[in-house]
Structure 1
Amino acid sequence: MTSRLITPTFLLSWLVNFVQYLLFYLLVTTTALYAVTEFAASEAASGLAASSFVIGATIARLFSGYVTDVLGRRPVLLGSVVVVVVACCLYFPAHSLPLFIAVRFLHGFAYAFASTAIMAVVQSAIPPERRAEGTGYFALSSTLATAVGPALGLFLVRSYSYPVLFTVTLATSVVALLLALFVRIPRAPRAESSRFTLADIAHPAVVPIGLFMLLVGLCYSGVITFLNGYADQRGLSTGAGLFFLAYAAIMLVMRFVLGRLQDSRGDNVVIGLGLVSFTVALGILAVARADWQVVLAGALTGLGYGTLMPACQAIAVRLVPPERLGTGISSMFLLMDVGLGVGPVLLGGLVSASGYGTMYALLSGVSVLSAGFYVAVHGRSAASGR
């Protein structure tokens, strides 16, 4: 008899996660421009305003798993969501650039704790034999937020104003808090409080597959950071506008297949499909001259990166004991975020020197190298069933 997957805990956790990601994407496309228009910020300062959220989240990832494991999932979840509401309130009186950057940092810091805690909650509610399937369905919450959030944020700013955007953001954060109050958290063993060590930042069992996702995240950073500039230069703005719609659409369809496939056939078949798709997508972006090619690359990126992320999250959860679930999840997020954060810094100079086509061709090669790394650190043991 198949264990039940879709439970009230799963559904409420899915909604909380969706709202948290929606908050991120509502603001991610608008904060740099807000810093320029409101504070006359330079390009560097506006970039800091945009990236301060990620900086706060990355710092929080260093110990969010440890805190979640030691204090418990419910207090960390509720406490972090309350801080998110406070941060959303503070956008209104943040009338200087340093204050605005500080608020973005605080929001990112709390967001990292909330995402770690809610992922630990939902993983404890997923039957082990349906781990990949459940993780894939859960990942759809962030996928939908990716499809809806940036466009909604830009619409609110262009059609109304930044105060209206901040009002919608605040109301959305309150919805997340109300939903979190009703999440029933399964009983789980709590880690004993002990001295904080390096293993609490990055769990040794998760580091290898996390480093694989660091390489994949570096490749994906080239997509999310430079796609608009690439499209403007090549006259492919229509294709770029449909890129993430195609990404979300293919994920919505394939999530009903790939998670079950990973549970029944193992990790390698799904990871292999994801790597091939992502590598081809990056190769298409390197040579694309038509809008349909960019849309195709978006669909393949959804089948690629959109497959690899939940598949590796399911692997990470299997690699740690139940009482270290938070640490395992935060370790994966931390390493993936490092790739996403470092990528634009490394790739910006390459774009200036050689152009977008060269950058995407190089990233396609990095994706191939990551396949070899995956085989070395996990693929062979997964194939043998160890």
Structure 2
Amino acid sequence: MEKNHGKIWTGPFFVALFNNFFLFIVYYALLTILPIYILNDLNGTEGQAGLAMTIFMLSAIIVRPFSGRIIEVFGKRKTLLISELLFCLSTILYVFIDSLSLLLALRFFHGIWFSIVTTVLITVVNDIIPDSRKGTGLGYFALSMNLAVVFGPLIALTIFQLYSYKVLILGLATVIVIGYLSAFTLKVSEYSIETSTAKWYRMSLHDLFEKKVIPSGVVGFLTAFAYASIMSYISVYAETRGVFESVSLFFIAFAIAMMAVRPFTGKMYDTRGPNAVVYPSFIFYAAGLILLSTMHTVSTLLIAGVLIGIGYGSVVPCLQALAIQSAPKHRSGHATSTFFTIFDSGIAIGAFVLGIVSAKWSYSLLYIVCGVIIFFTIPVYWRLIGGKKGIRYSESVCNHQE
């Protein structure tokens, strides 16, 4: 694909950006509304509602390591169009589900295609973004996912309350089908390498994982582990402190802060290198978590949301860019799948372990623990990535190099 040097906001970038936004709108909308549907309409239990969430992530984590190999064998364009088509069909099928067993089976099936399509989209957008603007471009791309954290639940709850579950599903299906049709306009560059014709039975560990991504993956795991406390427990914690009705404001503050700093952090990554963004971002992130542990008022909740939005919202796209840039271009699919396998595992394991912490002690202690983990992640990052002198990534690295 021919690139516009230095230009990020091109037609193909918009198509990929909105596709990613729609995918995560569907993901977060279902994450919000399915527990209510299971409890009220399917007469399920809280445990079964949790299982429906877990099984989706489980299938995504299982398939994620194979995504890079699938992209390599079938090509980016074919993988994108097939996986997004099956993601669309999976979304439509929620309309017809009337039993818990069928819902769990669909959640597992849906998670497979979510894993593959989100991996290939990042690989495609990495080719679209000019080499000198990776930090900025991937930062804006990651913003589409983070904004869906706010808009997904907001759309789901609004439509569900005003209309019905089926109307919500049909609305989500319509949105994702529009995104799918727009994907046909993307001209995707393919890498012709010898391994792309290899047989599946000759797969090795190298075909599933990109070992050069492990350093950024380890840092991403710790980052995601702590973020599981926000995804899984912020609503319950807010309820215990009497500010449950303001949880949506927390995510709005999170999103506004993240969008406000994105132009600066992306440019800083491209001109001064990742360390200039990562270190202060971890400090903001940890400070927000520690502040959250002391939360008794709405103002404290919102300030914590701003700090976490600046920190978490800035560091994740940086780690994602580092992961992709650490591998050769033809291995970008493997790099992406490896990073998100480790990252998603951090969220899954974090939700489980932190649930034990909150049950045995308190939510306040849970957020203190998470803040300490993020402070601990700073020297881990320095040891694995930031302190490496003269380190060079692939040709798509940021302008500044040691």
Please state which band the TM-score falls in when normalised by the shorter chain: over 0.9
DSSP-derived class of the 1:92 partner = helix
**How many residues get paired?**
386
Which residue identity does 1:115 align to in structure 2?
T
CA contact (8 A) 2:7 2:130 kept: yes
CA contact (8 A) 1:191 1:324 kept: no
Q: Which of these residues, 341, 363, 368, is aligned with residue 361 of structure 1?
A: 368
Q: Which of these residues, 248, 257, 282, is aligned with residue 255 of structure 2?
A: 248
Residue 333 of structure 2 corresponds to residue 288 of structure 1: no
- For the aligned residues, what is the CA RMSD? 1.6
Residue 74 of structure 2 corresponds to residue 71 of structure 1: yes
Match of residue 213 from structure 2: 206
Matches of 2:163 and 2:389, distance apart in 1: 52
Deviation track 1:287-321 (CA, whole Å, cap 9, x = no partner) reads: 11211111111111111111111001110111011
CA, structure 1 residues 89+342, in 2 after alignment: closer, same or farther (shift >3 Å)? same
Matches of 2:389 and 2:341, distance apart in 1: 23
Residue 179 of structure 2 corresponds to residue 181 of structure 1: no
Deviation track 1:150-173 (CA, whole Å, cap 9, x = no partner) reads: 111011111211111111121122
CA, structure 1 residues 223+167, in 2 after alignment: closer, same or farther (shift >3 Å)? same
Question: What is the TM-score when the length of structure 1 is the normalising length?
Answer: 0.96
CA contact (8 A) 1:22 1:148 kept: yes
Deviation (angstroms), 1:2: 5.4
Within 5 A, what are the aligned runs for 1:206-245?
A: 206-245=213-252
Residue 54 of structure 2 corresponds to residue 54 of structure 1: no
Match of residue 32 from structure 2: 29
Which residue identity does 2:154 align to in structure 1?
A
Within 5 A, what are the aligned runs for 1:1-386?
A: 3-190=6-193, 192-193=195-196, 194=198, 195-381=202-388, 385=401
Matches of 1:220 and 1:276, distance apart in 2: 14
CA contact (8 A) 1:70 1:190 kept: no
CA, structure 1 residues 74+2, in 2 after alignment: closer, same or farther (shift >3 Å)? closer
Deviation track 1:273-293 (CA, whole Å, cap 9, x = no partner) reads: 110010000000111121111
DSSP-derived class of the 1:336 partner = helix
CA, structure 1 residues 191+211, in 2 after alignment: closer, same or farther (shift >3 Å)? farther
Matches of 1:99 and 1:45, distance apart in 2: 13
DSSP-derived class of the 1:30 partner = helix
CA, structure 1 residues 247+190, in 2 after alignment: closer, same or farther (shift >3 Å)? farther
Matches of 1:231 and 1:164, distance apart in 2: 30
> What is the percentage of aligned positions where both structures have the same residue?
30
Which residue identity does 2:311 align to in structure 1?
G
Deviation track 1:179-229 (CA, whole Å, cap 9, x = no partner) reads: 111122234445613432223333110011101110110000011110000
Deviation (angstroms), 1:113: 0.8
CA contact (8 A) 2:139 2:262 kept: yes
DSSP-derived class of the 1:206 partner = helix
Question: What is the TM-score when the length of structure 2 is the normalising length?
Answer: 0.93
CA contact (8 A) 1:69 1:191 kept: no
Matches of 1:161 and 1:239, distance apart in 2: 24
Which residue identity does 1:364 align to in structure 2?
G
Matches of 2:117 and 2:289, distance apart in 1: 32
CA, structure 1 residues 172+191, in 2 after alignment: closer, same or farther (shift >3 Å)? farther
Instruction: Select between 275-284 and 59-68 the one with higher mean Cα deviation.
Output: 59-68
CA, structure 1 residues 307+383, in 2 after alignment: closer, same or farther (shift >3 Å)? farther
Matches of 2:158 and 2:246, distance apart in 1: 19
In structure 1, the gaps of 5 or more residues are none
DSSP-derived class of the 1:21 partner = helix
CA, structure 1 residues 191+82, in 2 after alignment: closer, same or farther (shift >3 Å)? farther
DSSP-derived class of the 1:183 partner = coil
Matches of 1:134 and 1:312, distance apart in 2: 13
CA contact (8 A) 1:281 1:300 kept: yes
CA, structure 1 residues 226+86, in 2 after alignment: closer, same or farther (shift >3 Å)? same
